[in-house]
A and B are shown apart, each in its own frame.
Chain A
Amino acid sequence: MDDIDLIKKRISKKRKSFNQKINKNILKNNYPWTYIFLSKIMILLVIFLSLLIYLKNNPTQKLYLYDQIFGNNFPFAKVNNVYQKYFGNILPFQDIFNRYKTVFEEKLVYQEANIYKDGVVLTVNPNYLVPIQENGIIIFIGDKEDYGKTVIVQQANGIDLWYGNLNQINVNLYDYVAKGSYLGEIKDNKLYLVYKKEGKVLDYKKYIN
């Protein structure tokens, strides 16, 4: 029995020393996770601070960057249009079984058009159903000051079109909407439209006939 115990001890000793060797090797090759984490934070800090210093010395660049980040949306519709032009549909089964592509109405029907704030106010029939003017993606749904319930459609030609004073909205955020499909119902007999491109207001007369 003593012999067996001796042998067992010897084996366990060998195993321990072997394990220690392996552990040492691992430590040599890999840094501890805290070191990696802290070094990542340090690199981020360096980038952030150098950007801050750069922007403080160049106020024009700062304004441009702020405008790009906070003033503009990513041009989803434009990229989509360019992609579809060269590579066709994006997802594998897009538009294969699309039976519901019914056009609701092509053109806006209105009695009068007058200037209102940044855009135009159209006098239409009460509870008029609004058709979409151009293919695009919906980038905003909500309330805007002086416009009531508003939907903003980012069109493929780079123009953001605001539809104001809506009552019922029939689309979700980030839906792709086709020209002539049904957007929603108007609140009373006034529809506000605003044409904007890269934050600048455009003349509505070019787009409304």
Chain B
Amino acid sequence: MIIKNILTKIEIHPIFLILGLISIITGLFKEFLILFILIISHEIGHLLVAYYYNWPITNIKLYPFGGYINFNVLLNHSLKEELLIVLAGPAMQIILYSFIYLNNYFILPHTFNLISQYHYSLLIFNLLPIFPLDGSKIINILYNLFLPFKKAHLFMIYTSFISLIIILFLLPLIKINFSLYLLIIILIYKLLKEQKNHNYLFNRFILERYLYDFNYNKTKIIVGNKLKKMMLNKKHLFYLKHKYITEKSYLNKIFK
């Protein structure tokens, strides 16, 4: 039942299909199959941990650089769970690769070289700190430990732009690769979209704080009415007019 439920939510991006068609015409069946299996194993890693923590899934999009899973969760989710879900993808890929590495007597060296080549490049590409990739999520979680929500998100976008620019400068070192350029265009598009949504995300974050009750151990005192300084994994006390007000009551005032 669960598997059928997940299978219906998979959407394959048209660029992936076009790449598949081109690789059939040019006879790269094996390479495409290896790439597909590695991407699927990566996604299965994410899905297993997400299932363990009961994170509902809205859809799964498959791109040639890996999948992107949209979770139907609040913005105020636990950082630990998200970190584990993000790390599970590369971990699953490494487990599959090490299994093949230990049992590599049943495949020929040529095929094994292909597998290791795609494995390493997919792994490194997915850990780059550019927005829709796993690396950016890890960096966002790290920022959220020390910085307010709004600042952390903004810093994540800045680091994405910087690493994108570095990669664009490094591109001429590699042989011309049209499909890699297409992937980078997809990344830029997603990043610009996320930057546009920056303020909406912050509003959603505050609205969730107003609508639901969250339990956090740590509290942070904010002097003045600066909502920007609210953090993801803490309660807040506002110091206004020589008085301490709880977060909930302050938000109640604002939204009424």
Identify the A interface with B (CB < 8 A). 74, 76-77, 79-80, 83, 87-98, 100, 137, 170-172, 174-177, 181
A33 to B28, CA, bound (A): 37
Beyond known contacts A80-B27, A89-B179, A96-B121: 9 more, CB 8 A cutoff: A79-B25, A87-B178, A89-B177, A90-B179, A91-B19, A91-B118, A91-B179, A95-B117, A176-B28
Q: Which residue of B lies closest to A154 (CB)?
A: B27
Judge whether B22 and A94 touch: CB under 8 Å: no
- Alpha-carbon distance A137/B25, docked complex (angstroms): 12
Find out whether the CB atom of A76 lies under 8 angstroms from the CB atom of B26: yes
Assuming the A-B contacts A79-B26, A89-B175, A90-B28, are A97 and B120 also in contact, with contact meaning beta carbons closer than 8 angstroms in the complex? Answer: yes
Whether the Cβ atoms of B113 and A100 lie closer than 8 Å is yes
Contact A174 B180, beta carbon cutoff 8 Å: no
**In the docked arrangement, what's the CA distance between A94 and B125, Å?**
13
- Summarize B's interface: helix, strand, loop or mixed: helix
CA distance A72 to B220 in the complex (A): 74
Interface contact B19-A93, CB-CB below 8 Å: no
Assuming A98-B117, A174-B30, A175-B30, is B180 touching A93 (CB within 8 A)?
A: yes
| C-alpha spacing A177/B111, complex, angstroms | 11
Would you give the 0/1 interface string for B29-59, flagging 1 where the beta carbon is closer than 8 Å to chain A?
Answer: 1111001000000000000000000000000
| Most A CB within 10 A of own CB, among B110, B111, B178 | B110
Query: B175 and A95: CB pair below 8 A?
Result: yes
Q: With a CB–CB cut-off of 8 A, which chain A residues contact B175?
A: 88-89, 95
A81 smallest CB distance to B (angstroms): 9
Q: Known: A93-B118, A96-B121. Is A87-B30 also a contact (CB below 8 A)? A: no
Interface residue SS majority, chain A? loop
A155 to B71, CA, bound (A): 48
Whether A90 contacts B113 by the Cβ 8 Å rule is: no
With A96-B174, A97-B121 known as contacts, the answer to whether A91 contacts B110 (CB < 8 A) is no
Residues of A within 8 A of B111 (CB): 172, 175
Is B195 interfacial (CB 8 A cutoff)? no
Minimum C-beta distance from B189 to chain A (A): 16
Chain A residues with CB below 8 A from B182, complex form = 92
A83 to B179, CA, bound (A): 12
Q: Tell me if B177 and A94 are in contact (CB < 8 A).
A: yes
- Is B64 part of the binding interface, using a Cβ–Cβ cutoff of 8 Å? yes
Q: Are B30 and A92 in touch, CB under 8 angstroms?
A: no
Q: Which residue of chain B lies nearest to A181 when distances are taken between CB atoms in the complex?
A: B110
A-contacting residues, B176-231, CB 8 Å: 176-180, 182-183
Cβ of B122 under 8 Å from chain A: yes
State in angstroms the CA–CA spacing of A129 and B194 once bound together: 56
Is there contact, CB below 8 Å, between B179 and A98? Answer: no
